[in-house]
Each structure stands twice: as C-alpha cells, then as structure tokens.
Amino acid sequence: MLEHLNRAMEHIERSLDHEDHEVEAAELARIAMTSEYHFRRLFSMLAGMPLSEYVRRRRLTLAGAEVLAGERTLLDIAVRHGYTSGEAFARAFRAMHGVGPGEARRCGAVLKSQPLMSFRLVVEGASSMEYRIVEKPDFRIVGKKARVTQLCEGVNPAIAEFIKGLGAETVARIAALSDQDPDGIVSVTDHEPGNREDGTELDYWHAAVVGPEGELPFDLEVLDVPAGTWAVFASTGPFPQALQRMWGDVASQWFPSNPYESRPGPELLRTRFVPGTGDAQAELWVPVVRAAR
C-alpha cells in the first residue's frame, strides 16, 4: 500500500511540471490502487493536510523558485502553475510566502517551502494493535451536536466547553437512550471528505447509538447511519494522548497493512475514564470497506 501511495506522490510531482496537466484525485487513487474517498482521507490523516492543500503548497514552492530565478515573467509563472490571472497568483503567493511575487523578486525575499512528501512504515515490534471487524445494521446517532474546529493534539477546548454547556440532566437523558454497541455516551465526529487538518471544521456529536425504530425526544438531533462495516480499535492510556496516538497508528500502520479502506461515515468513540488516574479506556469505531485486490 505505501509503495502505491509513493507512486501517487511521484505522479503529483510530474503533473506539477506540466502547465496543462491537472492533478486529479481520481487518477492518484487509481495509481494508489484504492478509492478516491479512501485516498483523500488516508492522505490527510498521514500528511496532516488535505490533498488539495498539499498540491497548492507544492505549486507555490516551485513558483517561488521561479520567481527568484527571474527567467520568466510573473504572468508566465502564474499561468504555468494554474492561475488565471496575475492578481489571483499574487494573492495565493502572499498567503503562503508572506510577500508578493513582485516584491520577492525585487528584494530576494526568504520564501517558505513545502517539501516533497513520501510515506514509510515505521515498525515498532514492542506493540501490536488490537481490533475487530463489526458488521452493523442501520442505526441512529441521537444527541446534541456542534460545529467545532479540529485540533489533533491535546484537549479540544471548543468540545470541552460544548459538553460542559449541555448540563448533567441532558447528558443523562441521552445516555438512557443507548440500546446497542458502542453503549452509553459516545463522541461522534463527522468530517468533510479528506479533511483532517488542524483548523478545519467538523460536526461533533455528544450522543448515543440507538436503533432505527422508536420515539425520540423532540429536543435532540438525529443522524441516520446506514448499515456497514466498522473496524473497532481499543486502547488504554493517558487521556487524550493515548487516544490521539491510536488515531495516528490506525492511519499510518493499520490501513497500509490490512485489506480495508475507509468509507464515508461518522467515527464513533466511546471513552471511559479509569478512576483515580489520568487514564482512559477508549474504543474507536472507524467506517471501513474491504478493499478490492
């Protein structure tokens, strides 16, 4: 899997050298021998940014070198790197480098660089990942949700404040609705496809997993989730570090080593704190589909 991902990365670089050659996610997914959805999602999990952002940064890195070289006009460089006008190029250039292309050329400014990425698997023989595969019928997520900003490390203050504002009575009512695994209160994150970079937005639910039938309180929100396959991972350790490390291991080790791809759908997380410690037992449910081989 990693070999195919790296071939896709090489294709991006070849595409950047051709003025009329767009970087198509579908073509990259074909080279990586996976679906476009899984390629976008796996890329953003591994790289820490969406595919489109990486391509933009690489284009502007190459454009920056050409600006400083002074061999082409600024408009020629803009067109070569996919911008329809000098103004659009100047805005994008300034957003990344902190200086406009004209000023950079005149003053020989120090520019930023997005390195060429490649992926490799780091094997740590002292540990292994525990997981199970669950075929789950239709269910509903019922609770309260908020639009929050993603934070990949540490406690997310927006989520903590949202949960605090719900109140104990509301949380208890939500928990009482739970009638299947993962049981009790669960944290649910619903990402935009391929978008996992710090600073992006997502829907966060503080909710219960409930069967598709039955009456529900009018003041709670509902997300219908169709039947599908889920990979379920377990970990115990300091919160939230152990949980966030598990998420990284799923992306960098489990997916490249197993015949599954991610699929559209929310991720479910059940967390239980260990009394008297700073540890938590976590169970992470990731929507997957068996990869075509």
Average pLDDT over every residue of 71-96: 89
Greater confidence, 192 or 1? 1
User: What is the structure's pLDDT at 20?
Assistant: 57
Q: What average pLDDT does the chain have? A: 83
pLDDT of 248 higher than 90 = no
Greater confidence, 182 or 125? 182
**pLDDT tens-digit profile of 226-237?**
999 999 988 888
Average pLDDT over every residue of 63-70: 84
DSSP 8-state code for residue 200: -
pLDDT of 191 higher than 80 = no
Which residues span the domain enclosing 263? Answer: 131-290
Q: Is residue 114 part of a domain?
A: no
Same domain, 75 and 145: no
**pLDDT tens-digit profile of 152-188?**
666 678 888 899 899 999 999 999 999 999 999 999 9
User: What is the structure's pLDDT at 291?
Assistant: 79
Same domain, 150 and 90: no
| C-alpha to C-alpha distance for 148 and 39, rounded to whole angstroms | 24
User: What is the structure's pLDDT at 165?
Assistant: 92
User: What is the structure's pLDDT at 125?
Assistant: 39
CATH number of the CATH domain containing 250: 3.20.80.10
Same domain, 237 and 98: no
CATH number of the CATH domain containing 58: 1.10.10.60
Same domain, 269 and 152: yes
27 within 8 A of 55, measured Cβ to Cβ: no
pLDDT of 225 higher than 50 = yes
Quick check: pTM over 0.75?
A: no
What interhelical angle do 168-177 and 157-166 show, nearest 10? 90
- The residue assigned the tokens 């990949």 is 152
Q: Is residue 56 part of a domain?
A: yes
Pull the structure tokens for residue 115: 């390195």
